[in-house]
Amino acid sequence: MKRILLLMFVFSLFAANVICQISLDLSPEQKLKMLKERVTDNLNNNILSYWSAKMPDEVNGGFYGRIDRNNRVIPDAGKGGILNARILWTYSAAYRVTKNPEYFKLATRAKEYVLAHFIDKEYGGAYMMLDAKGEPQDTRKHTYTQAFFIYGLSEYARATGDREALKAAKGIFKLFEKNVLDKEFNGYYEVFSRDWQRSRERLIGERTPADEKTMNTSLHIMEAYANLYRVWPSKKMAERLENMVNIFLDHIIDKNSHHLICFLDRQWNGTSQIDSYGHDIESSWLLYEAASLLKDPDLIGRVKEVSIKIADAASEGLLADGGMLTEKDRSTGHLRLTRSWWEQAESVVGFTNAYELSGNEDYLNKAIHAWNFIDMYMIDKENGSWFTSVTPEGIGGGEKAGNWICPYHNGRMCLEIMERVE
């Protein structure tokens, strides 16, 4: 009898989830309206409500560095630069879109902590990691991490008009152009010491000494430069943003498959056999966003065509349940079957963008299907926020917050849909 009751309870939960799914039989307008309603609710009443309640560190300032898989805050965890820069971006963007004063309060908390603790007053740029009390723990200048500080600081300036944040973002940009840019072959190197001496350490998946340029860092530099250009539309900034768009068009996008080449040598020869489906779909919309800011009709037309082709390539990672796989190793055929939160979020935005560019409703259906997968499997309806990953069997888990785990991908997905549908 107990087993029957348990099965009835589980079935009732499953049925409730199914009822909440957005039907693909609705009109495009109805699908978009429902999608906006769902993501707006999820942003305010699940993602940011969770982070606002659990992450502020009232003892040492700023935000805690980690919440484990059991929803326990780890007070002595280090405070990562990527995490804090992304928190700054998320709350700044959320305030800009919603005008919620609580988001302004937390965005300002993040900005003030970043400027007081992460920014290196002697050599410029931002530290990679602080300890729990806010003292430098890893003083390396990681290009990927630095790009997110440009992104977050420029978003705070965009949302509030704050000149201090803008000055800090411009300062990191100038250090990039002075120290990080490969002045012979273009592009940007990956890792530097505190005083900006180049290091050959591998921090984001590089496998060999030949991996000197990465798609991932390049993508987030382009994203950061696009956001900085919004608040500092100088001739120099426009030129550097256009350069990043062209780096993707000329070097990082495979001309045949339209997947991104994940790792490259200094002269832009590919060194990787990995297809990263999440990065493909994320780049498909970020590339178009960057090009559209420059208002060059020829560039926009070229990027529009390529963006749709990248979205098509990313579709190879979609499964029947709407979820997006992480990656495939072409050299072995091996697939990473565990699905991460960030790829699912980027799928919703990327396929919505492809629908906007093409008018092809099939892309919108992919976006809706991706959201339905998120709603069914990724959202932690018991404890709040999202699971970090979902197993092939549909079981959610993983830590809830950490240096790489933050409200940026899923929060941005919600904000993008809210703005686009509006």
Residue 10 lies in a domain: no
Q: Are residues 119 and 262 in the same domain?
A: yes
Q: Are residues 303 and 266 in the same domain?
A: no
Residue 198 lies in a domain: yes
- Of 272, 292, 316, the last residue of a domain is 272
> pLDDT, tens digit, for every residue of 316-339?
999 999 999 999 999 999 999 999
| Domain interval for residue 29 | 23-54+276-422
Residue 37 lies in a domain: yes
Q: Are residues 238 and 358 in the same domain?
A: no
| Confidence check: pLDDT of 7 > 80 | no
| Confidence check: pLDDT of 206 > 50 | yes
Q: Are residues 335 and 213 in the same domain?
A: no
pLDDT of residue 422: 83
Number of other residues whose CB lies within 10 A of the CB of residue 78:
18
Q: Does the CA dihedral 253-259-262-263 come out positive or negative?
A: negative
Share of the chain above pLDDT 90, in %: 95
| Confidence check: pLDDT of 4 > 90 | no
- Of 272, 293, 326, the last residue of a domain is 272
| Confidence check: pLDDT of 3 > 80 | no
Give 20's pLDDT tier (boundaries 50, 70, 90).
confident
Are the beta carbons of 198 and 191 closer than 8 angstroms?
A: yes
| Confidence check: pLDDT of 183 > 90 | yes
Are the beta carbons of 327 and 277 closer than 8 angstroms?
A: yes
> pLDDT, tens digit, for every residue of 241-262?
999 999 999 999 999 999 999 9
> pLDDT, tens digit, for every residue of 284-322?
999 999 999 999 999 999 999 999 999 999 999 999 999
Span 84-98, average pLDDT: 98
Residue 355 lies in a domain: yes
| Confidence check: pLDDT of 15 > 90 | no
Q: Does the CA dihedral 309-313-316-319 come out positive or negative?
A: negative
Query: Distance between CA atoms of 203 and 142, rounded to whole angstroms?
Result: 8
Residue with tokens 């499964």: 319
Closest residue by Cα to residue 278 from 333, 323, 334? 323
Q: Are residues 203 and 296 in the same domain?
A: no
Q: Are residues 130 and 105 in the same domain?
A: yes
Checking phi first, is residue 90 left (phi over 0); if not, alpha (psi -120 to 50) or beta? alpha
pTM, full prediction: 0.95
User: By three-state DSSP, how is residue 340 classified?
Assistant: strand
Residue 115 lies in a domain: yes
Are the beta carbons of 346 and 417 closer than 8 angstroms?
A: no
Q: Cβ-count burial of 326 within 10 angstroms (0-12 exposed, 13-18 middle, 19+ buried)?
A: buried
Span 82-98, average pLDDT: 98
Are the beta carbons of 351 and 317 closer than 8 angstroms?
A: no
Q: Where are the beta strands (DSSP E) in 75-216?
A: 79-80, 129-130, 136-138, 141-142, 191-192, 198-199, 213-214
Alpha helices in 161-276 (DSSP H): 163-175, 215-231, 235-247
Q: Are residues 373 and 226 in the same domain?
A: no
Q: Are residues 280 and 417 in the same domain?
A: yes
Residue 14 lies in a domain: no
- Of 237, 257, 272, the last residue of a domain is 272
pLDDT of residue 76: 98
Residue 132 lies in a domain: yes
Share of the chain above pLDDT 70, in %: 95
Q: Are residues 105 and 229 in the same domain?
A: yes
pLDDT of residue 115: 98
Q: Are residues 330 and 351 in the same domain?
A: yes
User: By three-state DSSP, how is residue 323 classified?
Assistant: coil
What CATH number did the domain enclosing 254 receive? 1.50.10.10
Query: Distance between CA atoms of 84 and 64, rounded to whole angstroms?
Result: 9
> pLDDT, tens digit, for every residue of 111-157?
999 999 999 999 999 999 999 999 999 999 999 999 999 999 999 99
What's the mean per-residue pLDDT of the chain? 95
| Confidence check: pLDDT of 181 > 70 | yes
Residue 248 lies in a domain: yes
| Confidence check: pLDDT of 11 > 60 | no
Q: Are residues 383 and 419 in the same domain?
A: yes
Give 1's pLDDT tier (boundaries 50, 70, 90).
very low
| Confidence check: pLDDT of 16 > 80 | no
Number of other residues whose CB lies within 10 A of the CB of residue 295:
9
Q: Are residues 339 and 388 in the same domain?
A: yes
Task: Provide the number of structural domains found in the chain.
Answer: 2
